[in-house]
């Protein structure tokens, strides 16, 4: 089975997480605490290094008080 990895979407998600985090004046530590995930995961998401799970994407969106779709557009 072929792996499906959409690098552009992964980068877009990471860029949007960073943009919204910074717009709200949050540090990576604060966001990770609010989303209940490791800071290193926020770093990797923002850098586009990991293809995160839907559950993690949803936790990040909730912490940023956004609809998850806003992080993909």
For residue 52, what is the domain's CATH number? 1.10.260.40
pLDDT at 64: 98
Mean pLDDT of the chain: 96
**Residue 20 belongs to what domain range?**
7-72
Does 40 reside within a domain? yes
pLDDT at 55: 97
Q: What is the pLDDT of residues 26-54, one digit of tens each?
A: 999 999 999 999 999 999 999 999 999 99
Strand locations in the chain, DSSP E?
A: none
Q: Are the C-beta atoms of 13 and 57 separated by less than 8 Å?
A: yes
Helices 7-23 and 28-35: crossing angle, nearest 10°? 100
Dist. CA 71–CA 1, nearest whole Å: 28
Number of domains into which the chain is organized: 1
pLDDT at 2: 74
Does 1 reside within a domain? no
Does 63 reside within a domain? yes
């Amino acid at each position: 089975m072929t792996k499906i990895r959409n690098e552009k979407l992964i980068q877009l998600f990471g860029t949007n997480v960073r943009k919204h985090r910074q717009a709200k004046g949050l540090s990576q530590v604060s966001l990770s605490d609010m989303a209940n995930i490791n800071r290193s995961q926020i770093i990797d998401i923002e850098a586009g290094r990991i293809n995160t799970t839907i559950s993690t994407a949803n936790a990040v969106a909730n912490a940023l008080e956004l609809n998850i779709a806003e992080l993909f557009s």
